[in-house]
Chain A
């Protein structure tokens, strides 16, 4: 049977605004959760279902990501009385959230299920430490790892640093410019009661903290926390009756890679990251460009990852990322704030999902916990970004999340206010 003329089968762009994130939920961001990842995941998914105004019977798909450090979707589903028509637990950390949103859209589009819960549950401090210390640091070195770990080249910071340093060499990026990312995100976190680190720090504090591996100071690195996070993806038609305004998904790019991602940087320029390739998928699919975006969620495993991605997705000219992250643009009150929750540097480490949750709430115009709720049930924002104050971005309509796995792999998603 011929397709209707208005369906463009040559591109995925007809999925624009067809799917939405309708519920978000998390546990406390903490160290020493005192819970299994199964319990953490159960709480987060439950919170997301309640936030969406749904019942367990409304959820029939589930996705999770992990790296041998978490529980599996069918357990969480069973514990919450959810019968699944589809589930998948994939391997991976950063860059998974946006990629799995795309998978959720795909399986719903394929008719395999109707509403998908996506979760990440981890004891990133008290069990499998994200920084790679503890038990993870002392595993025997075998096979291809002889070309990396045998050289003391193992943790994420150690593995990514050649890219970070080379960016400084190629473009004159300075330590102070990059440290501004931590200072900015810490200011945002000071307005977020949920954040693990709520104390504001200065550029000088970052530069005075001890060197872990050049160019990374301690405060250039993210926090390790125990937590779970969850989001609910469903069709925009179903989203209309939800508890909140939906965050409509404009477009996704999932785990886009540079050539030769074996981590030995055979293909350069090594100061360019996967965003250079992902942006060719993201912006055309979303039908918007960087200039249309009101708030970003550029992954901050390290201060540098935020900077590199904003640059390679085209928020500034190539090489000007240091300027972009230090001139006030990414601060609340600036032109395009980044990680208004404090992100991985301050709020908590969830391999990207908390940054998506934050932007969903930004698009609902209900991001903060301190502004009063009016008699109409709506949050009355002060837009006063002083410590402990508001963190809502004014007139927030379009968001972009930029997920990072490593210099060679990234994912992204654009959402708009429904």
Chain B
């Protein structure tokens, strides 16, 4: 089923040819993060693709993956260009190394999953929360419900995890 929805006043859509993306976001809508696992080499991959980037296999199955990891890098946007985000600055776009499959198949590889810093109910984080996050911050996945069959995976500070003494932040606040 194709999806047409609005998020922050921004139109989001997936047509019914988007087989892999529809499956990915359907799991997210159930607040149950899944990635494709290759049927031949068993490696997980992100974002969704038709073939395995490690062995070119076409066969994969969706498997549950724990949404926990650490911030690998980020950008903190102060001047939004998309109208949807202008009321929400500063906002963080986080690139998060999942704990699962970290450093595989080579030491330089990781499942790096994009998301905004959000509150535990999936709303864009307030400025005081943005200031607490940097490279190394431990985060857990939360979801922003958009429409039936579509939720966006997001990240929030993992209060149960041991955090670095001082996550690395760009020196100028």
Contact = CB atoms under 8 A, between A and B. Distances in A.
A154 interface: yes
A149 B12 CA distance: 10
A254 interface: no
Contact of B53 (A161, A174, A260): A260
A165 B12 contact: no
A152 to B, nearest CB: 4
B112 interface: yes
A214 interface: yes
Interface in A38-76: none
A158 interface: yes
A269 B114 contact: no
Nearest to B11: A140
B85 A210 contact: no
- With most chain B CB atoms within 10 A of its CB, the pick from A132, A142, A144, A149 is A142
Given A146-B12, A152-B85, A268 B108 contact: yes
B12 A162 contact: no
Interface string B154-165: 000000000000
Contacts of A140: 10-13
A207 interface: yes
B166 interface: no
Contacts of A212: 77-79
B127 interface: no
Nearest to B9: A138
A152 B77 contact: yes
B77 to A, nearest CB: 4
For chain A, the bracket of interface size reads 35 or more
Given A161-B75, A264-B112, A270-B72, A214 B170 contact: yes
Interface in A251-301: 260, 262, 264-270
A1 interface: no
A163 B72 CA distance: 10
Contact of B95 (A149, A162, A211): A162
Interface string B1-41: 00000010011111100100100010000000000000000
Contacts of B109: 266-268
Contacts, number: 140
B74 A147 contact: no
A153 B12 CA distance: 14
A165 B92 CA distance: 13
A210 B79 CA distance: 9
B82 A165 contact: no
A264 B114 contact: yes
- With most chain A CB atoms within 10 A of its CB, the pick from B10, B12, B82, B111 is B82
Contact of A150 (B10, B74, B80, B83): B10
A246 B20 CA distance: 52
Contacts of B93: 151-153, 158, 162
Interface in A106-159: 131-133, 137-138, 140-144, 146-155, 157-158
Interface string B78-120: 1111111100100101010000000000001111101110000
A140 B9 CA distance: 10
Given A146-B12, A166-B73, A152 B112 contact: no
B145 interface: no
A131 B83 CA distance: 14
A348 B21 CA distance: 39
B46 A266 contact: yes
A172 to B, nearest CB: 11
Given A142-B13, A151-B115, A267 B85 contact: no
Contact of A137 (B46, B53, B76, B81): B81
Contact of A268 (B47, B91, B110, B116): B110
A389 interface: no
A166 B79 contact: no
B100 to A, nearest CB: 13
A266 B12 contact: no
24 contacts: A133-B81, A140-B13, A143-B14, A143-B15, A146-B152, A152-B77, A152-B80, A152-B91, A154-B82, A158-B77, A162-B73, A165-B73, A165-B74, A165-B135, A211-B78, A212-B79, A213-B75, A214-B74, A214-B172, A215-B170, A264-B46, A266-B45, A267-B109, A269-B108
Interface of A: 131-133, 137-138, 140-144, 146-155, 157-158, 161-163, 165-166, 168-169, 174-175, 207, 210-215, 260, 262, 264-270
